[in-house]
Amino acid sequence: MAKLNILTFPDPRLRKVAVPVTKFDKSLENFVSDMLETMYEENGIGLAASQVDFHERIIVIDISDERNDPKVFINPEFKVLNDKSLLSFNEGCLSVPGVTEEIVRPDSIYLTWQDVKGEHHADEPSGLLTVCIQHEIDHLEGKLMVDYLSPLKRDRIRKKASK
């Protein structure tokens, strides 16, 4: 296992769009272990492969207080079930250190994904998990939480980051 280096905004590599995972092998399992180790060491509740400069569609999440409920979503995709049902949450991101902002997202989604063995799954997650999944899937699309903010606020964060 190894801790991975996390890219930080405004690194252009965070803007790459990740491609689907097609090989479910030992090296994928090892990489997922490294992602989990990195997330735990950095005290994050989620991490996308894009953040560690690996541009395949993999996210890991643990929203439990005990930090003992790792969830792995490979090739995750979601559909919004009810766009009137929204949840506002104060989000942070390991790639935008020191910044938290209220972001509004749909809280009713239908999610499909694969596990490390390639098995297919589907669920309708709710609450913080839904927020976290959408935040991480954004990373796979090259999108960051700062994109939800006003250009003025985003500029301020960019200036602070380049100091």
> Smallest gap, in angstroms, from Cβ of residue 119 to Ni ion?
26
> Smallest gap, in angstroms, from Cβ of residue 109 to Ni ion?
18
For the sheet containing 120-123, what is the strand order?
Answer: 46-48, 58-61, 71-80, 109-114, 120-123
Residues 3-42 that bind Ni ion (CB under 5 A): none
Q: Which stretch binds Ni ion (CB under 5 A): 7-15, 76-84, 88-96, 110-118?
A: 88-96
Q: Which residue is nearest to Ni ion (CB)?
A: 93
CB nearer to Ni ion: pick between 24 and 37:
37
DSSP type of residue 75: E
Catalytic status, residue 136: yes
**Which tokens belong to 115?**
């596990």
> Smallest gap, in angstroms, from Cβ of residue 91 to Ni ion?
8
> Smallest gap, in angstroms, from Cβ of residue 145 to Ni ion?
6
* 93 is a site residue for Ni ion (CB under 5 A): yes
* 47 is a site residue for Ni ion (CB under 5 A): no
**Which tokens belong to 104?**
């509004």
* Total binding residues toward Ni ion, as defined by CB under 5 A: 1
Candidates 62, 35, 28; CA nearest to 49 is 35
Vertex 139 angle, CA 136 and 140, to 5°: 100
Q: What is the largest CA-CA distance in the chain?
A: 45
Coil/strand/helix, residue 107: coil
Please identify which of the residues 56, 102, 136, 141 carries the catalytic annotation.
136
**Which tokens belong to 73?**
């979503």
Active-site positions? 136
Q: Which residues bind Ni ion (CB under 5 A)?
A: 93
